[in-house]
Structure 1
């Protein structure tokens, strides 16, 4: 079979989000509300005192991958830490979490945050974290291609991350003249997001190059992804794929369930500090306390 082709391409433009942060949102905006099982992809840029103070989640997972700087996170369960450039946090919000994510270094902090939907049978599980430092992320270099394996497998190496919704998440850097052929499971929806440089993607090596901040949705037909770097600069992009859930989606901001009734119940739970949100009643993050003053 030929490689997958590009069926949609668009540029993720900057917008304000959180408390003074700037994000380039590619999935989760009006052009692409949902790409099963993916709810949101943000490329974020934030400098203190801006950030993402106390906010709730229910019904999905957030994957934060730092590209530059550092972010400190804390939640109402007492979990706290700092992720730096190259580090990863895979958070399963499940039945409910309230947390904050704020800059932990001077200058601009940059990264990617992906929201992955959970199936109806997993939406109300207990929250869970998988946090991996950069040096523990599997990495392979071969024939001018470097890949960091956040989830899934590539070039003979596998990630240690457990994905409740089956997911692949690969960070590629291609040197000038490199050609990548990466398999993608046939049942997966998949996309590319370009971070740096320019590349050619799809079955046609003579196609036009595509630059940073562009999201490329891949067709569902084909063996995988072909990519070429014919420019003089390194090409860096992420390839993400996941098993579609095929379930209805009801969303109200940071709450993602299957029905409007479940959303109404979630709002009631959050407002009344019940059914997973009990600890939110008296908890404030250190970042929020600082902002209150």
Structure 2
């Protein structure tokens, strides 16, 4: 029997300035929703021409960049560079350390870059792995159509939905779906028992399970995780409704974060500062590498 999770907390993502002139709506990682293991941060970003996120480091987490509109360029100290197109995803495992830049690109249709960036904590055993990337262009992300071609589309960015599985393989359990409803309707998504789950509303309005409350765009909804709940039922209350549904395996470990460095103890963070300052253990190019795109 399918039993739906329910909303236990809602947070409205207020738009604020971030980076070099970018605008973000932050929910996870804000004062209203500080801890939601394994998730560290969720930003709904808008990057104008001349803005962006110039050269900066990471250690200990994965960053997931999913483009909704426009295009974004990226470049890093390991020699990796590319373009994330609208509808595409970049799943970067920072591991032991990397320096990178994320800057807007001029899309063929002139759209400014808008998208979502999710930070996912890495299990302690993966904190110091070599950095790696998994990238999919829009056509590489598979879709599920549980009610046929005229029903809702579920873009399977990672994980499994209605018999469709993404090729992305995160370090740690994480499912990520973009749900697109052209018309009103309801979908039930199975979720592994005990996983942390949230929804972020992009367009239109939705209701959850048997709860009557209506949720409009820019809300992050944290869902319950009771042992008898097998998944989540979401109803699109109007045409042209979109939301992302994300679930992750909770981590039984401390979160000690200083900006883009996320470890499990103060000692590890202090060691990270030393590594970064001295150019060691993943940060060998911290003081010599400069991106080509960061100064554009």
Q: Could you say which TM-score interval applies, normalised by the shorter chain?
A: over 0.9
1:44-65 deviation per Cα after TM superposition (whole angstroms, max 9, x unaligned): 0001100000000000100000
- TM-score scaled to structure 2, two decimals? 0.94
Q: What does residue 84 of structure 2 align with?
A: 83
Instruction: Kindly indicate whether the alpha-carbon contact (under 8 Å) linking 1:2 and 1:203 is maintained by their aligned counterparts in 2.
Output: no
Structure 2: how far apart are the matches of 1:95 and 1:146? Answer: 37
1:87-143 deviation per Cα after TM superposition (whole angstroms, max 9, x unaligned): 110000000000000001155210000000011111000000001111011112242
Structure 2: how far apart are the matches of 1:257 and 1:38? Answer: 13
After TM superposition, the structure 1 = structure 2 runs for residues 129-140 of structure 1, keeping only pairs within 5 Å, are 129-140=133-144
Q: What does residue 26 of structure 2 align with?
A: 25
Structure 2: how far apart are the matches of 1:173 and 1:135? Answer: 16
1:5-57 deviation per Cα after TM superposition (whole angstroms, max 9, x unaligned): 10001210001111000000010011111200000010000011000000000
1:168-199 deviation per Cα after TM superposition (whole angstroms, max 9, x unaligned): 00110124331111111012110000001111
Structure 1: how far apart are the matches of 2:183 and 2:129? Answer: 45
Deviates more, 1:281-290 or 1:165-174: 281-290
Structure 1: how far apart are the matches of 2:263 and 2:95? Answer: 10
Structure 2: how far apart are the matches of 1:88 and 1:45? Answer: 16
In the TM superposition, what is the alpha-carbon distance from 1:289 to its structure 2 partner? Answer: 4.1
- TM-score scaled to structure 1, two decimals? 0.95
Match of 2:268 among 262, 282, 287: 262
Measured on the aligned residues, the alpha-carbon RMSD in Å equals 1.1
In the TM superposition, what is the alpha-carbon distance from 1:228 to its structure 2 partner? Answer: 1.1
Q: What does residue 253 of structure 2 align with?
A: 247
- Any stretches of 5+ residues in structure 2 without a counterpart? none
- Any stretches of 5+ residues in structure 1 without a counterpart? none
Structure 1: how far apart are the matches of 2:295 and 2:174? Answer: 36
Instruction: Kindly indicate whether the alpha-carbon contact (under 8 Å) linking 2:11 and 2:33 is maintained by their aligned counterparts in 1.
Output: no
Q: What does residue 93 of structure 1 align with?
A: 94
Structure 1: how far apart are the matches of 2:11 and 2:254? Answer: 25
Shift of the 181–107 alpha-carbon distance from structure 1 to 2, 3 Å rule, reads closer
* 2:119 aligned with 1:115: yes
* 2:46 aligned with 1:45: yes
Structure 2: how far apart are the matches of 1:160 and 1:132? Answer: 9
> Is the partner of 1:187 in helix, strand or coil?
coil
In the TM superposition, what is the alpha-carbon distance from 1:153 to its structure 2 partner? Answer: 0.8
Structure 1: how far apart are the matches of 2:222 and 2:215? Answer: 13
Q: What does residue 124 of structure 1 align with?
A: 128
Instruction: Kindly indicate whether the alpha-carbon contact (under 8 Å) linking 1:196 and 1:212 is maintained by their aligned counterparts in 2.
Output: yes
Structure 1: how far apart are the matches of 2:64 and 2:101? Answer: 14
Instruction: Kindly indicate whether the alpha-carbon contact (under 8 Å) linking 2:142 and 2:164 is maintained by their aligned counterparts in 1.
Output: yes
Q: How many residues align?
A: 287
Deviates more, 1:275-284 or 1:90-99: 275-284
Instruction: Kindly indicate whether the alpha-carbon contact (under 8 Å) linking 1:47 and 1:107 is maintained by their aligned counterparts in 2.
Output: no
Q: What does residue 167 of structure 2 align with?
A: 160
